[in-house]
A and B are shown apart, each in its own frame.
Chain A
Amino acid sequence: MTDKQSPRSPDPGSNAGWAALSTLLSGILVWGGLGLLLDWWLHIPNHLGLLVGMIAGLVLSVYMIIKRFG
């Protein structure tokens, strides 16, 4: 999103920040949510699906952010 920002624009940071934050949140939300659904469906104890999903989502979104902005 920001790779076309040339030096003429002094404000590439805040947009990248909002995008990164939204990716991070969505990652945790999507995979954590899928994990929670799995929990309900398969009666997994201790919210294990939610936990694993949230961590996996976090890892994935960090990977995406690194790929995009790194």
Chain B
Amino acid sequence: MSVQPAPLAADFPPGTGDFDFTSLIPSLRGAEAGQAFTKISLMVWIAIALVIIFFLVAYRAPKLVPTKGQWLAESIYGFVRDGVAKEVIGREGLPFAPYLTSLFLFILVMNSFAIIPFFQISPNSHIAYPIILAVLSYVLFIVAGVRKQGFVRYFRVNLFMPGIPWPLYFLVTPIELISTFIMRPVTLAVRLFANMFAGHLMLLVFTLGGVAMLESANFFVKGLSVASFAMAIIMTFFEFMVVVLQAYVFTMLTASYIEGALAEQH
């Protein structure tokens, strides 16, 4: 739901039901298929379109002296290529730079919806979208590792830590297995989801709290609503920081997992 300092919604204390978005296709409202096109999926389509159009337009007619759009695209790509791909993975990271850049920009746009007026919620505060992104990164780093080192060698390197006495493998290998192949995608998805979800709740609490206080009969409570609104504004700036940071962290960790998969040994 969108948070506007308009009159309070009929269902005032908002609940979990507010995360069940109704279909934007009126005839499908209530039907299962209607879930295919809601406010959330509309935002996802907008984010995809924005990223594609941005790069298409920026590189449509590349010039030696870049235009403004080309300069922006090149600096974003350059930042991810040099700052993430080369930095974390090394020279072998260059083939992954396009994926990492798209991933970074897509998550950035998706997260930004959290603070854009009238959207006011990031699709990433639905766990489904972070899960898909995490699965993409998960498949990518496993495939990259298997292609580089071969199936057996890749899993041997990742599951059996060199330099420890062999009886300890019985104790240590289960930990390696869980840590590398289960914890990684789970934490990747949950970190992004929880940050965006918590940010949304935070803004909701202060904005709706302000509205509720403003409608109070008590004069002092009414006056205190200013503090609540001020907090909502401060939190919006804070949320902007979280938006950028989480997109960066997700990209950074994906790169670091790829690096771990490509490394000959730990």
Contact = CB atoms under 8 A, between A and B. Distances in A.
Interface of A: 1, 3-4, 9, 11, 14-15, 18-19, 22-23, 25-27, 29-31, 34, 56-57, 60-61, 63-64, 67-68
Nearest to A11: B87
Contacts of B172: 60, 63-64
Contacts of B75: none
5 contacts: A1-B256, A9-B87, A18-B253, A30-B174, A30-B178
Given A18-B253, A18-B256, A26 B179 contact: yes
A67 B163 CA distance: 8
B263 A4 contact: yes
Contacts of A25: 179, 183
Given A14-B252, A15-B88, A26 B260 contact: no
Contact of A23 (B175, B256, B263): B175
A31 B263 CA distance: 28
Contacts of A68: 161, 266
Chain B contact surface mostly? helix
Identify the 4 closest CB pairs spanning chains A and B, nearest first. Answer: A26-B179, A26-B178, A15-B256, A27-B175
B184 interface: yes
Question: Size range of the interface on B?
Answer: 20 to 34
Contacts of A26: 175-176, 178-179, 182-183
A18 B260 CA distance: 12
Nearest to A56: B171
A30 B161 CA distance: 17
B164 interface: yes
A67 B161 contact: yes
Given A9-B88, A64-B172, A1 B259 contact: yes
A1 B260 contact: yes
A64 B256 contact: no
A25 B87 CA distance: 27
B212 to A, nearest CB: 39
Interface in B212-266: 252-253, 256, 259-260, 263, 266
